[in-house]
Structure 1
């Protein structure tokens, strides 16, 4: 197999912990191990809180190595992952700075310039660099943006969003290829006039070398005061797309019924964190625990505390096409999944692999009932957990890395 030299633009990269940072880095390590070269151009780590991580500075230019990946960081406008206008300024600053830096960093040896979404300002920079440097431009489609902006209500339909959508379609058309994370994303693009021949589907996955089941850490259970509890965990970004206020309302309903067995564990940060924290405090919820975002080295401790993993998305047609990456991580840890989401590709995977329970009706009482039932049926939970762990072998990060390279080679 030909060895490729890839130049990759991603606004997020470790030690950030969001889906894009994890996907780009874990997959990239497999590329490097296979003999490919990878350069990532990113920003100073700050997401989602908008605070520079310890050991880093928001400098004009920084260089480091990450498990064989060459990483360059540029200075950007820093803000928390909330507030539409400030976030757009953040995205625009990365677009400009990555383009300027890329003019000096992209070499003749690079075979491809690739960008990843959700936000596509990164793709604008990659497209412009590809034009100047005469390289193939690959658009990795991680989310349908700006459609998702409408879905979460961050911005109402307007002339501005219409113009942004025109730019989105322009970038798809200008790309040498689009690598989509879901079949529904591909169908969406075809419906909007993008050639099917240039769209490849490479679904997300989990790095089984990093994510694996271990016994519960008794000390952490004791520290969080959830010993002897049936732990329902939500681990990851807490944004508008996840509608987690419904989860803490279910926690209140359980507490009001006198349930003392189920505990909800939230690990992470995001735009909706303060909202759900305030609800929990105002209602004196004893069955809800919040834990700050954890490093990749420690996040497994909290996955392994879980009895079931919660995947929750807002009730919107847009999210039918989304496959949350956390469902694959849950599989890696052998955790059964309770999914509250629109019927779509993610729920189809859940049903096909028999790795959990899907609630598509968004009925609070149905949600409460299934959690109470599972908390009293350890055998069913254990059986589905085994199916979940076995299914993780179908969705490995290594498989994703290989399929991505195969797609690149087919268009080279």
Structure 2
């Protein structure tokens, strides 16, 4: 089977869509299938080309047996609604134009978060007269409303109609959460063609390891109880809560032993750094994004991982992929996300759930994990066991089963 996969994020980018797509495609190649990925030149989230790449109209490479075609797109940082829409739409157009050069395709997969990529997948599938599969990673444009990036308008209403159109036209929909599935069923999507394949973890890479001694020295965190947030610093994440917690924990007994690392980039990072300086937070360390190979070294520094999203109903449907990476590394979690993902934390017994945007609860959780060794060790052990339930190679096989049924049906 020849699968054509359209995605605007792919390694060496290190965000969740890039990792999921690459790890799934790698497993499908191992299973004997031919995979072609159309993507753009790597630039997320800073909106700057990665070293060694050009933003040209058509360039190819091979990555672990995957044929990768990179096309031109309008590059901008992960901030500003209008510029980001131009980014998404430019990739939609150039990905569609590149598709005729890919021959013998059996089906087309398009992945969100934003669905202009999925629009291209639908158009390409019609051009090639093959089925298309919608991989649903986010309820877009609903997430635009949730973070206040754009006020309610006729444009958002039109985008929602386009979203529903794509659900109808897809031969299958692969949702990353049960909550997403329930949401789109309630809005008229056909339950028979919806399949849930959650995010997971590459347990061959994300596994327990000793703290990286060189990084410990470089960051000056010897003897510290280190908590951290690793990921995008965006409007959806309300990371100001972590800064407020850092300020509070300084006043607590043994608070000087704590430090919080922020690793990543995004639209809010500059403001977060400015706020931390204004609050004189000497227990906070900001680190820019690092490569996929380097990020595991930074995970190793963490005694506790903090996962956080804004307090809004939409995010109760989200399962942050970093949860599974924490589990693979055996790192207990302080989980500030309500809903389905909180249920996983509690079911697997891998950490403490706190109310989103509640700095007091976050502080109490940090103190509990730093002071109660038995509790900490229990969560750590549970995380390593629970990670096996979200092995990316198994989940890739589950999605491949869906794709094979669609291709055979056509």
User: Is the TM value for this pair above 0.5?
Assistant: yes
Structure 1 residue 270, shift from structure 2 partner: 0.8
Structure 1 residue 210, shift from structure 2 partner: 1.5
Structure 1 residue 361, shift from structure 2 partner: 5.9
> What is the rounded CA distance, in whole Å, between the counterparts of 1:16 and 1:366 in structure 2?
33
Structure 1 residue 378, shift from structure 2 partner: 2.7
Match of 2:113 in 1: 118
- SS of the residue 1:214 aligns to: coil
Give 2:15's match in structure 1, choosing from 12, 15, 18.
18
Structure 1 residue 362, shift from structure 2 partner: 4.0
Structure 1 residue 162, shift from structure 2 partner: 0.4
Match of 1:178 in 2: 173
- SS of the residue 1:298 aligns to: helix
Match of 1:297 in 2: 293
Q: Which runs of 5+ in 1 are unaligned?
A: none
Give 1:198's match in structure 2, choosing from 183, 193, 209.
193
- SS of the residue 2:189 aligns to: coil
Q: Tell whether 2:69 aligns with 1:78.
A: no
Match of 1:322 in 2: 318
* Kept after mapping to 2: 8 A contact 1:245/1:275: no
Structure 1 residue 409, shift from structure 2 partner: 2.1
* Kept after mapping to 2: 8 A contact 1:230/1:375: yes
* Kept after mapping to 2: 8 A contact 1:261/1:375: no
- SS of the residue 1:390 aligns to: helix
* Kept after mapping to 2: 8 A contact 1:238/1:272: yes
Match of 2:42 in 1: 45
Give 1:234's match in structure 2, choosing from 226, 229, 235.
229
TM-score of the superposed pair, with normalisation by structure 1: 0.97
> What is the rounded CA distance, in whole Å, between the counterparts of 1:364 and 1:15 in structure 2?
34
> What is the rounded CA distance, in whole Å, between the counterparts of 1:377 and 1:91 in structure 2?
47
> What is the rounded CA distance, in whole Å, between the counterparts of 1:218 and 1:335 in structure 2?
17
Match of 2:27 in 1: 30
* Kept after mapping to 2: 8 A contact 1:262/1:372: no
Match of 1:385 in 2: 380
Q: Tell whether 2:298 aligns with 1:277.
A: no
- SS of the residue 1:309 aligns to: strand
Match of 2:248 in 1: 253
TM-score of the superposed pair, with normalisation by structure 2: 0.97
Match of 1:145 in 2: 140
Give 2:394's match in structure 1, choosing from 396, 399, 407.
399
Structure 1 residue 60, shift from structure 2 partner: 1.1
Structure 1 residue 179, shift from structure 2 partner: 0.4
Match of 1:164 in 2: 159
> What is the rounded CA distance, in whole Å, between the counterparts of 1:329 and 1:156 in structure 2?
34
- SS of the residue 2:307 aligns to: strand
Aligned length: 406
Runs of 4+ in 1 over 3 A off after TM superposition: none
> What is the rounded CA distance, in whole Å, between the counterparts of 1:116 and 1:308 in structure 2?
31
Q: Tell whether 2:127 aligns with 1:132.
A: yes
Match of 1:287 in 2: 283
- SS of the residue 2:108 aligns to: strand
Match of 2:85 in 1: 88
* Kept after mapping to 2: 8 A contact 1:11/1:94: yes
> What is the rounded CA distance, in whole Å, between the counterparts of 2:74 and 2:17 in structure 1?
19
> What is the rounded CA distance, in whole Å, between the counterparts of 1:363 and 1:70 in structure 2?
45
Match of 1:410 in 2: 405
> What is the rounded CA distance, in whole Å, between the counterparts of 1:187 and 1:67 in structure 2?
35
* Kept after mapping to 2: 8 A contact 1:350/1:357: yes
Q: Tell whether 2:93 aligns with 1:100.
A: no
- SS of the residue 2:361 aligns to: helix
> What is the rounded CA distance, in whole Å, between the counterparts of 2:363 and 2:320 in structure 1?
22
Structure 1 residue 410, shift from structure 2 partner: 2.5
Which stretch of the first structure deviates more once superposed, 86-95 or 203-212?
203-212
Structure 1 residue 292, shift from structure 2 partner: 1.2
Structure 1 residue 254, shift from structure 2 partner: 1.5
